[in-house]
Amino acid sequence: MDYKELANLIFPNAKPISYYEDKYKVRDLKEGAVVSRFAPSPTGFVHIGGLYQALVARLITKKTGGVFFLRIEDTDQKREIENGVTDIVNSLKDFDMEPDEGMVSDTEEKGEYGPYKQSLRKDIYQAYAKYMIEMGKAYPCFCSPEEVEEIRKKQEAAKIRPGYYGVWAKCRNLTLEEMAEKIKNGENYIVRFKSPGREDRKIKHKDIIKGNVEFPENDQDIVIIKADGLPTYHFAHAVDDHLMGTTHVIRSDEWLSSVPLHLQLFQELGFKPPKYAHISPIMKNDNGNKRKLSKRKDPEAAVSYYKEEGIPAEAVKEYLINIANSSFENWRRANPEKSIEDFDFDLNKMSVSGALFDMVKLLDIGKTVISKMSAEEVYNESIKWAKEHDDELLKMLEDKEYSLKVLGIERGNSKPRKDISKWSDVKDNIIYMYKKPEEYDFDKISREDAKKVINEYLKIYNENDDKDTWFNKIKDTAEKCGYAREVKEYKQNPEKWPGHVGDVSTVLRVAITGRRNTPDLYEIMNVLGKDEVISRLQAI
Ligand code: GLU
């Protein structure tokens, strides 16, 4: 009995690895091109941290003329959720981050390096596992889960490092004949890596984000092929990222401590290892305590939250780049019109510790992003959001011509209105353009006095006035009613007047819109039109 025979006994039908090595050609890309991927498991909702990783990977591949692909890591089939893959694919679509290669729906994919769903790559993993057995670098393990648990308990009781390694790795020392015998007798087994590592030796690794790190070598004989014939994450990572030509593995830093194992696997398989960039999680300030954004506690941890709230995808991406590279903010100030893809994104400059998630800042970016849109774009996005989330808004927007005028107020000029941070703000922001106000708060001016002001104003109101004339008429009204014509005048002698021209325009603003703060009142009155303005003023 030799290793080859054992390997044949375990995987009689697996192809030689040369088949796959020839099939998946080395990518023909220009020097320095980065190939990276988003490799989520379809086991839960898409987390904002996942989107963040995908965005970073995509930016760096775009910048270098490389390839960004989507691989679905569904080897833990018990944990898979319904629509898991579709949700992932759609999330990337929603954020305009479609991959160059990989899954494009639950069942379809594009690209030459597939399948891009791990459950469809069983044959490939088995070929490489067979190759490892042939080299004496992997072996079948017959320990049942209960036996493995037993070992762990013993280790715990003796206060030693847990795991299947060294003297604890019972099956590693079986003879080839014993192994073959057990297999022929129909005993259940899995395949384990025969780690050449020693815990008392150190490995040094230079992570693109974390910098130089040092770890003990891996000495665990980890499982590479499970009882269901599928690989574990570690083995699949090595095989896939090798065959798919990944140059940079950009992933969550929960995997940093697995680097010794992964480098060892690449080494033993004879593959060139990729570069690693381990991203810190996005943190949240929870009453003064910094903690990870939690799937359970924080609705904003789910990527779907942003779509439901109507926060524009562009704003979310812009905010995430802000977190990723602190130099982005200055760049954006200097280049307000450029696309985020023009930013010279630098993986090396990502922060080692987790950035704090700041919703206020994100919504502020949302305001800027929306302020740059045309009325037509705001209209289309609002309708899209309303269709799924708000019938009342949808109804309001039915009259497109009118709505474009409403949304066009203070838009398209050098200081556009910045009052909408998300599509779910739109209704509240414009509702007074569709409905008469129900309440009025004239603050220090009584309703009686407000009425007097309005009556005076109605005498001279003309819907065709230009803006200067319009404003002069408000001043005239102020004067007529005993208010200061100019704010300056008022400030010199405040006790002399009940108020100034600003108070008069506030009376008109409140009477017309029900609000003290609105965009430009002149534009609002023009859009509402003469009849509506008069009717609202007369309602006081
Ligand atoms: N499936 C792994 C995860 O979701 C992927 C890690 C990686 O990018 O390699 O954490």
Which atom of ligand 1 lies nearest, measured to the CA of 255? 6
Amino acid at 472: N
Domain with CATH 1.10.1160.10 in the chain: 286-370
Q: Is 56 exposed, middle or buried (0-12, 13-18, 19+ CB in 10 A)?
A: buried
67-70 and 101-103 beta bridge pairing: parallel
Q: What's the 40 CA to ligand 1 centre distance in angstroms?
A: 5
Which atom of ligand 1 lies nearest, measured to the CA of 37? 8
Residue of 244, 251, 258, 259 to test ligand 1 pocket, by largest number of atoms within 8 Å of CB: 251
Residues 6+ apart with CB under 8 A from 402: 527
Q: What's the 11 CA to ligand 1 centre distance in angstroms?
A: 27
Q: What's the 252 CA to ligand 1 centre distance in angstroms?
A: 7
Residue of 55, 121, 252, 276 to test ligand 1 pocket, by largest number of atoms within 8 Å of CB: 252
Residue nearest to atom 5 of ligand 1 (CA): 39
Confirm or reject CATH 3.90.79.10 for domain 286-370, answering yes or no: no
Residue ranges around ligand 1 (CB below 6 Å): 39-41, 73, 237, 249, 251-252, 255
Q: Which residues of 217-355 form beta strands (DSSP E)?
A: 223-225, 248-252, 275-279, 283-286, 289-292
Tell me the two tokens of residue 493: 């002698």
Which atom of ligand 1 lies nearest, measured to the CA of 40? 4
- Mean pLDDT of the chain, nearest integer: 96
Q: What confidence tens digit (pLDDT) does each residue in 179-235 have?
A: 999 999 999 999 999 999 999 999 999 999 999 999 999 999 999 999 999 999 999
Residue 245 burial (CB count, 10 A)? 20
Residue nearest to atom 10 of ligand 1 (CA): 40
Q: pLDDT value at position 412?
A: 85
Residue of 121, 233, 235 to test ligand 1 pocket, by largest number of atoms within 8 Å of CB: 233
Facing residues of 516 across strands? none
Indicate whether 408 pLDDT > 90. Answer: yes
Quote the pTM value: 0.92
Indicate whether 72 pLDDT > 90. Answer: yes
Q: pLDDT value at position 313?
A: 97
Helix axes 447-460, 501-513, angle to 10 degrees: 90
Fold of 3-15+122-279: Rossmann fold (3.40.50)
Q: pLDDT value at position 261?
A: 98
Indicate whether 177 pLDDT > 90. Answer: yes
Indicate whether 385 pLDDT > 90. Answer: yes
Q: What's the 225 CA to ligand 1 centre distance in angstroms?
A: 17
Q: What confidence tens digit (pLDDT) does each residue in 472-505 have?
A: 999 999 999 999 999 999 999 999 999 999 999 9
139 vs 6: CA distance, rounded Å: 9
Residue of 73, 249, 261 to test ligand 1 pocket, by largest number of atoms within 8 Å of CB: 73
Alpha-carbon separation of residue 116 from 413, 452, 529 (angstroms): 47, 73, 58
More confident residue, 288 or 246: 246
Please give the share of the chain, as a percent, with pLDDT higher than 70: 100
Alpha-carbon separation of residue 261 from 167, 171, 197, 215, 224 (angstroms): 19, 20, 9, 10, 12
Q: What's the 349 CA to ligand 1 centre distance in angstroms?
A: 22
Mean pLDDT of 383-412: 97
Q: pLDDT value at position 105?
A: 97
Q: What's the 217 CA to ligand 1 centre distance in angstroms?
A: 22
84 vs 47: CA distance, rounded Å: 12
Please write down the long-range contacts of 134-137, taking CB distance under 8 Å and 24 or more positions apart: 134/3, 134/4, 134/7, 135/3, 135/268, 136/3, 136/194, 137/193, 137/194, 137/196, 137/268
Mean pLDDT of 274-289: 94
Q: What's the 234 CA to ligand 1 centre distance in angstroms?
A: 10
Q: What's the 479 CA to ligand 1 centre distance in angstroms?
A: 71
319 vs 325: CA distance, rounded Å: 10
Q: pLDDT value at position 24?
A: 98
Indicate whether 444 pLDDT > 90. Answer: no
Domain with CATH 3.40.50.620 in the chain: 3-15+122-279
Q: What's the 171 CA to ligand 1 centre distance in angstroms?
A: 29
What's domain 447-538's architecture? Orthogonal Bundle (1.10)
Residue 295 pLDDT grade (very low, low, confident, very high; cuts 50, 70, 90)? confident
Report CA Rg, the chain.
Answer: 33
Residues 6+ apart with CB under 8 A from 288: none
More confident residue, 288 or 188: 188
Amino acid at 293: L
Residue nearest to atom 3 of ligand 1 (CA): 40
Asked if residues 192 and 170 have their Cβ atoms less than 8 Å apart, the reply is: no
Indicate whether 130 pLDDT > 90. Answer: yes
Q: What's the 41 CA to ligand 1 centre distance in angstroms?
A: 7
Residue 519 pLDDT grade (very low, low, confident, very high; cuts 50, 70, 90)? very high
Residue nearest to atom 4 of ligand 1 (CA): 40
Which atom of ligand 1 lies nearest, measured to the CA of 53? 8
Residue 351 pLDDT grade (very low, low, confident, very high; cuts 50, 70, 90)? confident
Q: pLDDT value at position 370?
A: 97
Facing residues of 251 across strands? 278
Indicate whether 353 pLDDT > 90. Answer: no
Q: What's the 150 CA to ligand 1 centre distance in angstroms?
A: 29
Q: pLDDT value at position 89?
A: 98
Domain with CATH 1.10.10.350 in the chain: 447-538
Indicate whether 413 pLDDT > 90. Answer: no
Q: What's the 250 CA to ligand 1 centre distance in angstroms?
A: 9
Q: Is 344 helix (H, G, I), strand (E, B) or coil?
A: coil
Mean pLDDT of 66-85: 95
Indicate whether 48 pLDDT > 90. Answer: yes
Residue nearest to atom 2 of ligand 1 (CA): 40
